[in-house]
Structure 1
Amino acid sequence: MKFSVLTAIVSEDYEQKVIDGARELGAGGITLLSGRGIGSDAKKTFFGMTYEGSQSIIIMVLEKGLSLEILKSIQTLIVDKKNNDSHGVVFTLPLEHLGGIDLSQLAKFEQHLKENL
């Protein structure tokens, strides 16, 4: 079984939507981190200081096929095609070695593979 690390960096407004969507598709453990970002078009605020807002960094270890499904789902949530705007970024990285994953989660990943073959 191959694994990927899926990372989504979204505004805090989208955090719960991303988590709920990932859980519905079979994600187990999810790690949340807080961050701040500076986009290419920084917004000017009080006394000329720039502020882009708080962001959530959402990290999941997933079976490779499931990570692609969840990535596509998150992409539809964060990309506004109508206004050609994005409210975050989502990407996966291949995972070579893994230890400490919950065995019940492994069973869920195996079941997902069987259902989608």
Structure 2
Amino acid sequence: MRFKLIVAFVDDQQTQALVKAARDAGATGVTLINHARGEGLKPKKTFFGLNLELQRDVLLFVVEEHLARTVLEQLAETGQFDHTPGTGIAVQLDVEDVVGVAHQIESLSGKVEEKL
């Protein structure tokens, strides 16, 4: 099996909804990194030197390649990434090799066969 890495940078208030959406679309797990910071086209305003930006989370999904596009699209739809500026972004990267997912391959086989 081949895998993709989906990295999503999201508002921390959306994290749980996005994890659920990704799981519903075929993701078998997630690694969550809290307290990330980011800046888009327009820098965030400050108030007496204090940042007023929302807290961000980074979500990392290792997804079987045939399921990856569906997961990515579900993240974009649920998070409204293309409709509301500043809600988040997600990228998909090729994974050269992966270890530690042998226990997931059995459950993934059925899902992948359905996709093909």
TM range (shorter): 0.7 to 0.9
Q: Supply the AA of the counterpart residue of 1:75.
A: A
TM-score by length of 2: 0.87
Q: Supply the AA of the counterpart residue of 1:67.
A: A
- Paired with 1:51 and 1:84, the residues of 2 have a C-alpha distance of 18
Task: Name structure 2 gaps, 5 residues minimum.
Answer: none
| 1:26/1:7 CA distance change after superposition, 3 Å | same
- Paired with 2:20 and 2:41, the residues of 1 have a C-alpha distance of 29
- Paired with 1:60 and 1:20, the residues of 2 have a C-alpha distance of 12
1:113 aligns with 2:107: no
- Paired with 2:44 and 2:68, the residues of 1 have a C-alpha distance of 33
| 1:80/1:4 CA distance change after superposition, 3 Å | closer
Deviation of 1:89 after TM superposition, in Å, equals 0.3
Post-superposition Cα deviations, 1:22-79, rounded to whole Å, max 9, x if no partner, equal 1112211210001122233223232144342210100011101111100001111222
SS in 2 for 1:85: coil
Partner of 1:59: 60
The alignment's C-alpha RMSD in Å is 1.8
TM-score by length of 1: 0.86
Is the contact between residue 81 and residue 88 of structure 2 (CA under 8 Å) also seen in structure 1? no
Partner of 1:3: 3
SS in 2 for 1:6: strand
Tell me the number of residue pairs that the alignment of Structure 1 and Structure 2 aligns.
115
Task: Name structure 1 gaps, 5 residues minimum.
Answer: none
